[in-house]
Amino acid sequence: MDRRRFIAAGLGTAWAAAGCQPEGHGAASNPLELGDTSHIRGAMTGVQPERGHLLRDQLQRGADWPAPQRTFKTEVLIAGGGVAGLAAARALRLQGLDDFALLEMEDSAGGNSRCGMLGGVACPLGAHYLPLPGDDAPEVQDFLEELGLRQRVAGRWQYDERHLCHSPQERLFFQGEWQDGLLPVQGVEAQTLAQYQRFADLVEHQRTTSRWTLPVSNQPLALAKQALAAITFEAYLNQNGLSDAHLRWYLDYCCRDDYGAGIAIVSAWAGLHYFASRHGFHAPGAQVAEREGLLTWPEGNAWLTARLAKPLGERLHTARTVLRIAQTRHAVEMDVLNANSGEMERWHARRAVVALPIFLAARVVQDAPDFLRLAARRLVYAPWLVANIHVGQALHDRPGPAPCWDNVVYGTQGLGYVDASHQNLQTVPGATVLTHYRALADLPAAEGRRLLLQRPWAVWRDEVLAELAQAHPDLVRKTTSVELSRYGHAMAVPVPEAHGQIGHWPSQNKRGQLSKKERSDGGYPARQTAVWNRLSFAHSDWAGYSVFEEAFTAGHAAAGWRS
């Protein structure tokens, strides 16, 4: 079976293979009778897929684009206004270079880290938190210091408490009750607890015998990590006798939450990296130091991307779909459709940062190099649905503890929800927005994207509400509106690679292998950067998985390259 067929088959059987829906023990029951939902307003919002599909359809027809009606010139062009593109723009500003332009397809920058307003409450449309970055990500640390989120006090770094996620942080609806934390613990058997401890020992062994960094180190992988990168996380669990259904449900949830696919799909390296590069894994009852904090805001990581975008002013050009990127002898040329005016624009620059997802970059870069086409063929993307649910009153029908930030219903397809009002510390809970996440990892990617486009808003609404109503019987009655955001190619999935490699950087592209002196900027570590003549590439896709630290450092590195 070839790799693509293996992945498609695995996506279709991921839940069954992972043992994620055991009988009893709080597994999801049949959907509840929702009752009358006619009072619930809503719409599809967020990204506008028709803009991206215009490019796809035009390429499939082989049609020529209209001649440009306006021409612009700048020193550096950035294609793509996600975290990588915004980080590249910040790096250019830090270098003292002001003559640049950033082109973004949507009406606002931020990529998967944008936000909306629902019922007067700010809420995320995608990424909603940032773990405190370690010393392997000094670019991110410096950015947080610039924003005043981090400062040195009496020789130690401290973070602004107002922006750290407050307690209680995580809660799981399990066996008909809420429990603190997301690892199923109440009423589980001794053999389950023993397997929790066994996995904790394996993670600690990884942390003490090798270095796990975020972002990923530029150094070649050790043989042991190469072996992990070549098999699925499920295969690794099988090899180590970890078959407990509760442990596998939790690990599958973690992988879907961070990578958009479960343990039957992602590599064992990725499954272990989730824990080993950050906070480890702690079995119930273990004596551990205070858990590392994380930063979050009602609008999610849009709080960060808005502050990256604000200094750009007129250098940020939204509603611009990049259709073609070509290199001439002395310049880079981009043809761009302005969605607001309907005009074709041609932009010229001395060099460019291509901060687009790899599958898009491979389509728009004219005469694309082999390493770019190869990376596009290898990548697998996870479709995502984000549902923002406005509730007009606090959910009180089921007795329980105070509202928590991250809330998950055991055994369901979704990833639970975060509460936009959690950081407000309001003494009397009231109206809020619950942001529900669902990675469509149980379907082949093309089928997941088809469902996102074709399934009506009301069908998604009822499915999401039925799932969450298992824990909140009063949810439907108190819901006033539901807005859905769809991401057909939300994030790269770190699937196993035959040779155990991590990421998609070109290995034989001589022009992409710059020296440390050429690549370092501002005292930052040398980073891998894909380069082709006057183009440098920046996106979390190149790391093979999607997190803020990878995208941000990739943008900084690409902006520091000189043609």
| Residue-wise pLDDT tens digits, 326-363 | 999 899 999 999 999 999 999 999 999 999 999 999 99
Preceding peptide of 215 cis, ω within 30° = yes
Specify the pLDDT at position 31: 47
Q: Which two tokens stand for residue 477?
A: 């009655």
Do residues 270 and 97 lie in contact, with contact meaning Cβ atoms separated by under 8 Å?
Answer: no
Beta-carbon contacts of residue 16 (< 8 Å; ≥ 6 apart): none
Specify the pLDDT at position 288: 60
* 83-94 helix and 302-309 helix, angle to the nearest 10 degrees: 40
Specify the pLDDT at position 15: 35
Give the C-alpha separation, 45 to 36, whole Å: 23
Specify the pLDDT at position 8: 38
pLDDT digits (tens, 9 = 90+) for 444-484: 768 888 998 899 999 999 999 999 999 999 999 999 999 99
Specify the pLDDT at position 551: 97
Specify the pLDDT at position 417: 96
Asked whether the predicted pLDDT for residue 25 surpasses 90, the reply is no
Specify the pLDDT at position 508: 47
Asked whether the predicted pLDDT for residue 4 surpasses 90, the reply is no
Question: Comparing 45-49, 79-83, 197-201, which segment has the lowest mean pLDDT?
Answer: 45-49
pLDDT digits (tens, 9 = 90+) for 290-301: 556 899 999 999
Specify the pLDDT at position 403: 75
Q: Which two tokens stand for residue 170?
A: 């995580």
Asked whether the predicted pLDDT for residue 520 surpasses 60, the reply is no
For residue 243, what are the CA distances in angstroms to 18, 129, 182, 251? 9, 31, 18, 11
Specify the pLDDT at position 127: 94
Asked whether the predicted pLDDT for residue 421 surpasses 50, the reply is yes
Asked whether the predicted pLDDT for residue 512 surpasses 50, the reply is no
Sheet of 344-349, strands arranged across: 70-73, 344-349, 332-338, 320-327
Do residues 352 and 325 lie in contact, with contact meaning Cβ atoms separated by under 8 Å?
Answer: yes
Among residues 238, 240, 239, 225, the alpha carbon closest in space to that of 270 is found at 225
Give the C-alpha separation, 334 to 349, whole Å: 9
Model pTM? 0.90
Asked whether the predicted pLDDT for residue 376 surpasses 50, the reply is yes
Longest dimension (CA), the chain: 71
Question: Comparing 34-43, 116-125, 267-276, 335-344, which segment has the lowest mean pLDDT?
Answer: 34-43
Q: Which two tokens stand for residue 45?
A: 């919002």
Q: What percent of the chain clears pLDDT 90, i.e. is strictly above it?
A: 69
Q: Domain 49-114+301-379+497-560 falls in which CATH fold?
A: FAD/NAD(P)-binding domain (3.50.50)
- Mean pLDDT across 434-450: 86
- Mean pLDDT across 429-435: 90
Strands 170-174 and 406-409, sheet pairing: parallel
Give the C-alpha separation, 94 to 109, whole Å: 19
pLDDT digits (tens, 9 = 90+) for 206-244: 999 999 999 997 777 888 999 999 999 999 999 999 999
- Which one has a higher pLDDT value, 25 or 182? 182
Asked whether the predicted pLDDT for residue 255 surpasses 50, the reply is yes
Q: For residue 63, what pLDDT band results from cuts at 50, 70 and 90?
A: low
Q: What percent of the chain clears pLDDT 70, i.e. is strictly above it?
A: 85
Q: For residue 509, what pLDDT band results from cuts at 50, 70 and 90?
A: very low
Element (DSSP H or E) covering residue 322 = strand 320-327
Specify the pLDDT at position 453: 87
Question: Comparing 63-72, 119-128, 170-179, 285-294, which segment has the lowest mean pLDDT?
Answer: 285-294
Q: Which two tokens stand for residue 282?
A: 């702690």
Neighbouring C-alpha atoms within 13 Å toward the C-beta of 43 = 7
First-residue to last-residue Cα distance in the chain: 42
Specify the pLDDT at position 300: 96
pLDDT digits (tens, 9 = 90+) for 99-156: 999 999 999 999 999 999 999 999 999 999 999 999 999 999 999 999 999 998 887 8
Q: For residue 343, which phi and psi values (nearest 5 degrees)? A: -90, 150
- Which one has a higher pLDDT value, 176 or 518? 176
Asked whether the predicted pLDDT for residue 7 surpasses 60, the reply is no
Q: What is the mean pLDDT of the chain?
A: 87
Specify the pLDDT at position 446: 81
